[in-house]
Amino acid sequence: MVTSINPSNVGAGAFNVDTRVSRPQAQPQREQNGVGDRVEIAGASLNAARDSVRDGLMQVHQALALGHDAQAMLLQVQTLARSGGDTVQAELSALLSGFAERVQAAISDGASLAAGEDLAVQAEPGAAPVGIAGVDLSLGGATIAFNADAQASDPELAQLAQRSLETLQEAMGRLLDSARALEAHQGFLGAAQGAAGIRHDIDADGARLLALQVRQGLEGVGGAAIANVEPQAVLSLFRA
């Protein structure tokens, strides 16, 4: 059994390991660790951006749905205001109170855009948030120009309903543009996250390959020889 080793012979060459192969492998290992760290950070940022875009889309869709309800309500108001009759006021009051309740329930459930509040969406990691203008759909607000106690006998009611329809149409157009933009961001983020996952898998495969190469190198040296060398000599197998 070998009981000592000449220090001058300690190193990768002492174990018949070809240094031309072993040395370059260590550098990719360090690059691998660096890439892995970057992928992990990018993945967290992408997840946060996707969540923000998803929540923003939900808000926009809620506001659009309420906007369609508002359009239908305004058209009915116009019809009732022009029809006259004894039952018109009761129908108008029921129509307006029902719409007001739906809007209030949505706002209470978190539909802040429909309350006229602007929304900031983190559509891209590290970029400035995308701003979406709110649309106030409450009766008597910035969009609908009459209150819940509007009177069918008011000669200006039909005109107010028409003006409200025009204002609402412009606001709905802006919401639709915002929805399309957010959907585009959502598609991009999904593709980017998928690419990051593929890169992470490739990095993991590279790490497993490096581990296999080291294990094969140790098996080639043999356990008896390793047991009789200084720790620095064994560590030289892993050094760049």
Report the CATH number that the domain containing residue 132 is assigned in CATH: 1.20.1330.10
Judge whether 2 lies within some domain. no
Could you list the beta-strand ranges (E) of the chain.
Answer: 119-121, 130-132
Judge whether 240 lies within some domain. no
Distance CA 145, CA 167 (A): 9
Judge whether 4 lies within some domain. no
Instruction: Please compute the mean of the pLDDT values over residues 43-62 and round it to a whole number.
Output: 86
Span of 56-60, 217-221, 229-233 with lowest mean pLDDT = 229-233
Judge whether 1 lies within some domain. no
- pLDDT band per the 50, 70, 90 thresholds, residue 223: very low
Tell me which range, 20-29, 68-77, 202-211, is most confidently predicted by mean pLDDT: 68-77
At 144 the pLDDT is 97
- pLDDT band per the 50, 70, 90 thresholds, residue 50: confident
How many domains in the chain? 1
Select the more confidently predicted residue: 18 or 66: 66
Span of 64-78, 121-135, 145-159 with lowest mean pLDDT = 121-135
User: How much of the chain exceeds pLDDT 90, in percent?
Assistant: 45
At 100 the pLDDT is 96
Distance CA 174, CA 165 (A): 14
pLDDT tens profile 137-191: 999 999 999 999 999 999 999 999 999 999 999 999 999 999 998 888 877 776 6
If one counts every other C-beta atom within 10 angstroms of the C-beta of residue 172, the result is 18
Judge whether 56 lies within some domain. yes
- Closest Cα to residue 17, out of 230, 225, 231? 225
- pLDDT band per the 50, 70, 90 thresholds, residue 128: confident
At 65 the pLDDT is 95
Judge whether 97 lies within some domain. yes
- Closest Cα to residue 65, out of 97, 92, 99? 99
The residue range of the domain holding 189 is 10-235
Judge whether 124 lies within some domain. yes
Judge whether 55 lies within some domain. yes
SS3 115: strand
Instruction: Please compute the mean of the pLDDT values over residues 203-215 and round it to a whole number.
Output: 55
